Amino acid sequence: MSKASQASKAQQPAPPRAGVAAAMSALILAVLLAALDQTIVSTALPRIAEDLNGFDDIAWVSAAYLLASTAVTPLWGKLGDMFGRKRLYLASTSIFLIASVACGLAQSLPELIGARVLQGVGGGGMIVLTFALVGDIVAPGERGRYQGMFGSVYGVASIVGPLLGGVFTDQLSWRWAFLVNLPIGAVALAVAARSLPAASRRSRARIDYLGSLVLAAIATGLVLVTSFGQRWGWTSPAITGLIAGTVALAVLLVPVERRAAAPVLPPAMFTSRTVVFSSLIGFVANAAMFAVLVYLPTYLQIVHGVSATLSGVFMLPLVAGLVVSQSLAGRWAARTALLRRILLGGLLANLAGLLLLSTIGAGTSTLVLSGYFLITGVGIGMVPMVVMTTVQNSVGPADLGAASAVVTFARSIGAAFGVAIFGTLLNTGFADRTRGLPVAGGFDAARPDTIGHLPAALQGTALDAFAHATAAGYLWMAPALVAGTALALFLEPARPQRPAPAGNVRTTGTGATGAMAGTAADGTVKAA
């Protein structure tokens, strides 16, 4: 058999245009559900704590999902490479829906937290496998356009989630924040089962259990540190012990993966400049993005006195900028030569948005805020899609899942760090600026929501302090984007890798369905 015919057999036939549309619709619904469940419970937490009598441990409801989804991301990506992404995607979606039922029916806080862990396991798989499936379904030159759609959905969900959580909690029950997943998820599951391409072969390599365990432990340590660092104390024995243990595990991971037959993170990815730089850029960009998406609504509600629903309306310019820039960047990204320019443009726009937000105060008008939000949204929208497309273009088809998982993992950790670091900066800055205020009336500088307990004459001072603390937090976040921009200057996007001939693809030994053989001079990962 000729090499050309072997290559033809090795490639998965592209589904017809109607099949692509159906598959993308299912994947978009799945990303929407998985992204919403990271934020939808935030406004429902007080009511959940009241109903389930668990105020002391209520933070675990959010942390459990983030921890589980981050920890399993690399494993889902690698298993998809080994055993076919469609069957793993269907399995992760089914786990997510079953866990959603368990969350909605939970009768105690420990039950809810356990169900959220299971839900995070499914949600993590849904997100990383969705990004990898795009590489299977569409041609390399079209990946950017479709990745842009998912990035827009993710950004919109980050803002819409808290609003939906508040509506369900006030009008129905907090349980509907979880049960609403069932009808939407069932449709997505049915469409995906019919439209996603099936894997053509199955790996006989052993699963990297040790590497998966070490990586999950690293993710657990990082999420616990970022989620509870401020609550437990950044210098407390628990946090310092977690940091030391996480660093030790990170050092251990490299030799563990080098010895694995089918490593969950192929060692070549550690030395690929494209993968490493893109992951670091994704980390800092997501840190800045979530600092904006999580805390700007808080600023609007506290300083401008708007409701949770109206704060979402005020954020619409940011959403508009995000969606439009994602769409345009996705179309431009079909030309590989433009990827770095798009990335630099997005990072610079994001940096400009942060610098503008660092000037806000208690008296900043909504019109001025809308302009700032629009610029910030444009920057936020252009970066994630380009990062994912750049990494996927640098690896062979057999490693799309693992490469997508690396970027998704870095972005998830970046989001957790961004929220934690900005929260610390905000609370510390607010406490410093209100240290001289009287505590009569129950005012607590560590809880800005108690501003209303202050005498009327002092509330203006406290609101101004909160606004300036928010602005200062964004100024302190700006250097991270400067560092990301510097990394982007040295990033050389590669032309998309093509499927290797069947005779060169190995399903045992060192790889899943195509081992990583080395790197090119520019750090681009090459498939064997």
Contact 261, 512 (CB under 8 A): no
The DSSP secondary structure of 378-441, one letter per residue, reads HHHHHHHHHHHHHHHHTS-GGGHHHHHHHHHHHHHHHHHHHHHHHHHHHHHHHHHHTTTS--TT
Q: CA 43 to CA 296: how far, in whole Å?
A: 15
pLDDT, tens only, 140-191: 666 666 666 776 676 677 677 777 777 777 778 888 888 888 888 888 888 8
* Bridge partners for 526 per DSSP: 518
pLDDT, tens only, 65-88: 877 887 787 888 778 777 778 888
Reference 238, options 249, 248, 229, 247; nearest CA is: 229
pLDDT, tens only, 298-325: 788 788 887 766 777 788 888 888 878 8
Whose structure tokens read 């496998």?
Answer: 129
Reference 100, options 176, 154, 45, 160; nearest CA is: 176
With bands split at pLDDT 50, 70 and 90, how would you rate the model's confidence at 98?
Answer: very high
- Which amino acid is residue 87, in one-letter code? R
Q: CA 329 to CA 323: how far, in whole Å?
A: 10
Q: CA 490 to CA 488: how far, in whole Å?
A: 5
Contact 492, 273 (CB under 8 A): yes
* DSSP E strand stretches across 15-84: none
> What's the token pair of residue 167?
């509506």
User: Which pLDDT score, from 0 to 100, does residue 509 have?
Assistant: 35
Domain boundaries, the chain: 17-196, 268-515
Share of the chain above pLDDT 70, in %: 76
pTM of the predicted protein model: 0.70
9 versus 133: the higher-pLDDT residue is 133
User: Which pLDDT score, from 0 to 100, does residue 59 have?
Assistant: 67
Q: Which of 148-152, 254-258, 388-392 has the lowest mean pLDDT?
A: 148-152
User: Which pLDDT score, from 0 to 100, does residue 207 have?
Assistant: 73
The DSSP secondary structure of 110-148, one letter per residue, reads HHHHHHHHHHHHHHHHHHHHHHHHHHHHS-GGGHHHHHH
State phi, psi for 235 to the nearest 5 degrees.
-105, 10
Contact 96, 128 (CB under 8 A): no
CATH number of 17-196: 1.20.1250.20
- Which amino acid is residue 489, in one-letter code? L
User: Which pLDDT score, from 0 to 100, does residue 95 have?
Assistant: 92
CATH number of 268-515: 1.20.1250.20
Contact 303, 430 (CB under 8 A): no
State phi, psi for 130 to the nearest 5 degrees.
-60, -50
Residue 312, CA distances (Å) to 301, 308, 317, 319 in order: 10, 7, 10, 10
Contact 39, 96 (CB under 8 A): no
Asked if pLDDT for residue 376 goes beyond 80, the answer is yes
Asked if pLDDT for residue 332 goes beyond 90, the answer is no
Contact 356, 372 (CB under 8 A): yes
State phi, psi for 527 to the nearest 5 degrees.
-85, 145
User: Which pLDDT score, from 0 to 100, does residue 522 have?
Assistant: 36
Same fold, 17-196 and 268-515: yes
Asked if pLDDT for residue 293 goes beyond 90, the answer is no
Asked if pLDDT for residue 125 goes beyond 60, the answer is yes
User: Which pLDDT score, from 0 to 100, does residue 333 have?
Assistant: 64
State phi, psi for 393 to the nearest 5 degrees.
-70, -20
User: Which pLDDT score, from 0 to 100, does residue 419 have?
Assistant: 78
pLDDT, tens only, 418-430: 877 888 888 888 8
Average per-residue pLDDT in the chain? 76
Asked if pLDDT for residue 354 goes beyond 90, the answer is yes
Asked if pLDDT for residue 90 goes beyond 80, the answer is yes
Across the range 476-504, mean pLDDT stands at 72
Q: CA 335 to CA 479: how far, in whole Å?
A: 30
Contact 126, 30 (CB under 8 A): yes
Q: Which of 225-239, 331-345, 471-485 has the lowest mean pLDDT?
A: 331-345
Reference 467, options 290, 303, 294, 291; nearest CA is: 303
